[in-house]
Amino acid sequence: MVCNERCPFCNVPAEDFSTRPMPIEDIRAQIQDFVAGGQQTLTISGGEPTLLKRLLLQTILEARTAGISFVELQTNAVLIEGDYAAALKEAGLTSAFVSLLSDVPVLHDQLAGLPGAFPRCISGIEALLDEGIAVTLNPVTAAITAARVPDYVDFVAHRLSGVRTISLSAVQPHGRAAKNLDLLPDYAVLGPAIREARRRADVHGITLLNPYCGLPRCVGWEDGAHCAEAAEAAEEDYQAPNVENVQANKLHGAPCRDCGLRTRCGGAWRAYWDRFAGSGLRAPLPRRTPWEGGEGIRAFNGDFPAGWAEDARVGVFLWVDRLRAEDLPKLRRAKLRDLAVEGWDRETLRTVRSLLATPEPLPQRQFRVAWLLPADALLLERIGLLSVIGVDTVFLEGTDGRLSALAALLRGQFPSLTIKQG
């Protein structure tokens, strides 16, 4: 875990870990367990692994000899020159993930905490590329570099033309960064910069990635291409710990409530909501109920159309006028995301309550229910019931001024509910 740089944002700073290197015998045993577990890719990180040249080369060789086909080194690259790169290649290194923190030398050095780091990092990258080792760059975008992401991409295309991939991470509020929160970029600045950077990267033939622990979808990644969280959540029968955010250090906030991408996006860091109050975050694909013209699959009178379970994607409501207890298993199996209910009877209410009460240990509720209610004498009682069972949206039928005033009152009384009318 020892390091030759002192990045003020480092998420695994040396001061928080023991810096004693592991003996090669222990590394070998770990690699054997790793391979026995069916793993095919290994990333070696730190600290700065290149400080321990002999151990690093031995580790790479052990991993390749054990049959691991992809071995990546995470490095700041300042120690890598021609001979070192050749030795890495000979040991079998396939790929390097390099922290080039800015295209501007003084900004890179400031973020690396090491004067003179920039030219050494650039020549390290060149040495790796000269050896045919694939290089992915990691800029760890910070407040002072957020607006420059498009220039970074241009710089890479012109100065480091062998680089084909940039992992567009941004400072996560962990380790030292948790104590230096002014390093976090404002997403209102970063979103437009990422959109422009992606446009330029396309022209240059460079792939930009939104890695794990990366950016919310509305910060320039609306289409979901090359987004780790989105890819994970799209997997058949997925368990998406990053989107569901089991650790709860990323959260959905107010703009996410009505976001059609919420099941493919983990939201923003808790520290980001606290510090920036969600600046720059806005639902790119608004979730609209069928009563507002949103997409709905009609399953009235218990008549579920063929293919409804596949069609009920996020943002596409299953739209029912009643539900029966026997509908529960198929609704649960369908992993329903959005349900719109109109009509009122006890069994429907009980069925929706059971769906919402399904033990869900996850902090981010993905299943959401909207209910259409007439503005009659039972309105208050019904809204009270719906808010208790966890319905999130109530749609009031009618547009007159008195109803608007009532809706405003109800919003004050039931803050957990979204109350719409029309």
Ligand X SMILES: C[S@@+](CC[C@H](N)C(=O)[O-])C[C@H]1O[C@@H](n2cnc3c(N)ncnc32)[C@H](O)[C@@H]1O
Map the footprint of ligand X across residues 149-208, applying CB under 6 A: 169, 171-172, 174, 177
Say if strands 268-269 and 250-251 run parallel, antiparallel, or are unpaired.
antiparallel
* DSSP-assigned states of every residue in 95-108: EEEE----SSHHHH
What does 256 interact with, of ligand SF4, ligand X, none (CB < 5 to 8 A by kind)? ligand SF4
Map the footprint of ligand X across residues 125-144, applying CB under 6 A: 138, 140
**Residue 121 within binding range of ligand X, rule CB under 6 A:** no
- Smaller CB distance to ligand X: residue 45 or 404? 45
| Four-CA torsion 382, 386, 391, 393, nearest 10 degrees | 30
Pair of tokens at residue 180: 């230096």
| Four-CA torsion 145, 148, 153, 154, nearest 10 degrees | -140
- Smaller CB distance to ligand SF4: residue 256 or 312? 256
**Residue 261 within binding range of ligand SF4, rule CB under 6 A:** yes
# of chain residues touching ligand SF4 (CB under 6 A): 15
Q: How far apart are CA 105 and CA 194, in angstroms?
A: 21
Cβ at position 141, least distance to ligand SF4 in Å = 17
> Of the listed pieces 254-262, 320-328, 338-346, 386-394, which binds ligand SF4 according to CB under 6 A?
254-262
User: Strand order in 70-75's β-sheet?
Assistant: 41-44, 70-75, 95-98, 134-137, 165-167, 207-209
For residue 341, the Cα-to-chain-centroid distance in whole angstroms is 31
# of chain residues touching ligand X (CB under 6 A): 20
- Smaller CB distance to ligand X: residue 77 or 233? 77
Q: Is 112 left (phi over 0), alpha (psi -120 to 50) or beta?
A: alpha
Strands (E), 1-92: 41-44, 70-75
Binding residue (CB under 6 A) for ligand X from 74, 245, 348, 387:
74
Cβ at position 210, least distance to ligand SF4 in Å = 11
Cβ at position 101, least distance to ligand SF4 in Å = 25
C-alpha closest to that of 364 among 287, 250, 273: 250
Binding residue (CB under 6 A) for ligand X from 59, 68, 76, 135:
76
**Residue 45 within binding range of ligand X, rule CB under 6 A:** yes
Q: Are 261 and 379 in contact (CB under 8 A)?
A: no
Cβ at position 89, least distance to ligand X in Å = 19
Q: Are 162 and 129 in contact (CB under 8 A)?
A: yes
Contacting residues toward ligand X, per CB under 6 A: 3, 9-12, 45-46, 48, 74-76, 97, 99, 138, 140, 169, 171-172, 174, 177
Contacting residues toward ligand SF4, per CB under 6 A: 216-218, 252, 255-256, 259, 261-262, 265, 267-268, 281, 283-284
